[in-house]
């Protein structure tokens, strides 16, 4: 029952539920890969016709001193892990949220892509975690934190989550140990921001993206553990179409 409630909250905001809105199967490779997403179902039209698609290459960002810091109000709690066939989604209990521009956005879930989807001046990190948030009126904010392999520096949050990763598609596991998503945030909260979309079908636009400038580390074993489940689950870079990329101080 709890999983169903969390899934309803994430509807339209999360990769885990995009496929449930249509019978059209999509994938990261082959005949149902990203180049064909927009043709698989009318609901996916934005994937090929949209003008504000994600991810993008982060380069040429303009400094905007008027950009506010993101206020994080994350709390520790149990995590429900779901292998949805495209990634492993970490469903969180209600209570964690951010505030930006005076608006509260509740954390719904977070998930991972290998390799990272957001290159910086053409360079990709090893992985990325996308933390998806939704406001009371349905606006979506995604915070992206890039992860880079460091043999000697495992990530503490991943160390708590990885032992329960469900290997089979449709598998669900409960992490009863309380985990705080704040452990996935870098110490330096400098970010790049732009308007984009979900990076999976239906590729919904109007999503505010925050990509942290600082990377976090994960160990080689942690990287290999996820890569064993998803060798590649990243969308290619999309055209900018004149959009602005801004950076805070």
Please list the alpha-helical segments (H only) found in the chain.
2-10, 15-18, 37-40, 46-49, 156-161, 220-229
* Alpha carbon 128 to its chain's center: 7
C-beta neighbour count of 154 within 10 angstroms:
17
Cα–Cα distance, 106 to 167 (Å, whole number): 28
Torsion sign across C-alpha atoms 175, 179, 182, 184? negative
Which residues, 6+ apart, have CB-to-CB distance to 94 below 8 Å? 9, 106
User: Collapsing DSSP states into helix, strand and coil, what is residue 42?
Assistant: helix
Q: Could you please report the per-residue DSSP string of 196-230?
A: EE-SSTT--EEEEEEEESS-EEE-HHHHHHHHHH-
| The pair of three-digit structure tokens given for residue 33, joined into one six-digit string | 């890969």
List Cα–Cα distances, 106 to 14, 99, 129, in angstroms.
13, 9, 17
Pairing of strands 246-247, 191-197: antiparallel
Catalytic entry in 73, 86, 133, 241: 86
| The pair of three-digit structure tokens given for residue 86, joined into one six-digit string | 């495209």
Cα–Cα distance, 88 to 19 (Å, whole number): 14
Decide if 86 is catalytic.
Answer: yes
Catalytic positions? 86
């Amino acid at each position: 029952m709890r999983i169903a409630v969390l899934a309803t909250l994430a509807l339209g905001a999360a990769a885990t539920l995009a496929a449930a809105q249509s019978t059209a199967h999509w994938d990261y490779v082959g005949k149902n890969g990203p180049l064909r997403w927009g043709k698989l179902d009318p609901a996916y039209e934005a994937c090929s016709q949209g003008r504000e698609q994600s991810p993008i290459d982060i380069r040429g960002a303009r400094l905007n001193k008027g950009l506010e810091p993101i206020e994080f109000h994350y709390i520790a709690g149990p995590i429900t892990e779901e292998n949805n066939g495209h990634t492993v989604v970490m469903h969180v209990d209600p209570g964690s949220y951010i505030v930006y521009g005076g608006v509260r956005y509740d954390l719904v879930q977070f998930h991972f892509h290998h390799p990272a989807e957001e290159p910086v001046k053409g360079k990709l990190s090893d992985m990325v975690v996308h933390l998806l948030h939704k406001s009371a009126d349905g606006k979506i904010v995604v915070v992206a934190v890039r992860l880079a392999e460091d043999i000697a520096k495992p990530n503490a949050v991943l160390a708590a989550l990885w032992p329960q990763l469900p290997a089979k598609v449709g598998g669900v596991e409960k992490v009863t140990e309380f985990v705080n998503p704040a452990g996935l945030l870098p110490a330096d909260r400098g970010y790049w921001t732009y308007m984009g979309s979900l990076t999976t079908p239906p590729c919904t636009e109007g999503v505010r993206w925050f990509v942290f400038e600082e990377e976090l580390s994960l160990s080689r074993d942690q990287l290999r553990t996820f890569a064993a489940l998803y060798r590649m689950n990243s969308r290619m870079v999309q055209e900018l179409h004149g959009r602005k990329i801004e950076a805070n101080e």
